Amino acid sequence: MSLKKIKVSVIGVGNMGKNHVRTYIEMEDINLVAIADVNEDLGKNVSETFGVKLYEDYKEMIDIEKPDVVSICVPTIFHYDVAYYCIKNGINVLLEKPICLNISEAIKLRTLAKKKKVKFLVGHIERFNPAVKKVKEMIVKRELGDIIAIIARRVGGFPPQIKDANIVIDLAIHDVDIVNYLLDENPNEILVNKQKNHILRREDSVELFLKYKKTSAYVQANWVTPVKIRKLNITGTEGYLEMDYISQSIEFYKSNYNKFTQQYGSYSDYILEFSEPDKMIINVARKEPLKEEIRYFINCVLSNIDIDIKFAIDALKIVSS
């Protein structure tokens, strides 16, 4: 498959789908052949804005256009049916998170993708945030020592376009996946507190406490806080950092201490004497996570690089607890 001839389509052109369309249009050597959306007015607006062919029926679009790659950005309730149809027809799929509403459907999609030998990626977009990648690098290099605790906050006002998913599936799953990614493991204990504050049918606030082998993590997400916050705080034995997902900024405080032994009668213990930490601003090259994610996926398709979406199923299992 030649990069110059790769054919791409987008199914569902709401807020996220429109960004997929824009990103594909901005990328060289990508042929965005068509979009599909059941909402005629919405689809027509995106079609006219970007000059791309519109279909109301995604199955008709696939049968006629025969794309090599499709981005699926429909509401979560339709993820399984649309993704299953595309994968069954041998199309490489980039599916927006969460993978599905339930584990059994998620496993079926993963199994089908392996059987059909197509590339299948679930878009946990924060994995492609350059600040997250830098933090991962720092953890691997043990610049923070052993990770003791992680606090993630993803809060803000209610998004009216989300009509079928609760706060856990829509927002908290981002940070659950990122904590798993940073620690390279899944939690062995999970405590969840969900509440319905302003919405009667769905939870709009949640706190998760996750216990890993050596680390505890607290994840807070809600549609209640009047200001938008997307932050990650990490405490390690050798330092502390604060990362902002939006500004892609990192503040790192390197611990300065002297360790010595204190005798207490018949036993001794270690004593730490702290001085002011070394504060560092860690700069990363700002990049758009969605564009990085799409570039990665297209490269996997063109270079025949295997993708395993088990991480997306793991995250769904945790938030479904």
Contact 248, 129 (CB under 8 A): yes
76 in Cβ contact with 102 (< 8 Å): no
pLDDT of 1: 45
In this prediction, residue 267 carries a pLDDT of 67
Q: What is the C-alpha to C-alpha distance for residues 149 and 219, in angstroms, rounded to an integer?
A: 11
Do 32 and 60 form a contact (C-beta atoms < 8 A)? Answer: no
> Residue 259: what pLDDT?
66
**Cβ contacts of residue 51 below 8 Å, gap of 6+?**
none
Per-residue model confidence (pLDDT) at position 166: 87
pLDDT tens digits, residue range 207-217?
999 999 999 99
Low-confidence ranges of the chain (pLDDT < 50): 1-3
Q: What is the pLDDT of residue 275?
A: 75
> Tokens 């856990």 map to which residue?
168
Tell me the C-alpha distance between 259 and 275, whole Å: 12
Residue 110: the pLDDT is 98
How high is the pLDDT of residue 57?
Answer: 97
pLDDT given at position 2:
45
Residue with tokens 């204990």: 189
pLDDT, one tens digit per residue, over 250-283 is 999 998 877 666 666 666 666 667 778 889 999 9
Residue 296: per-residue pLDDT: 97
pLDDT of residue 97: 96
User: What domains, with CATH codes, occur in the chain?
Assistant: 3-125+289-319 (3.40.50.720), 130-247+249-282 (3.30.360.10)
Per-residue pLDDT, 164 = 67
| Cα gap 298→127, rounded to integer Å | 16
Query: In angstroms, rounded to a whole number, what is the distance separating the alpha carbons of residues 6 and 126?
Result: 26
- Evaluated on CA atoms 272, 275, 281, 282, the torsion sign reads negative
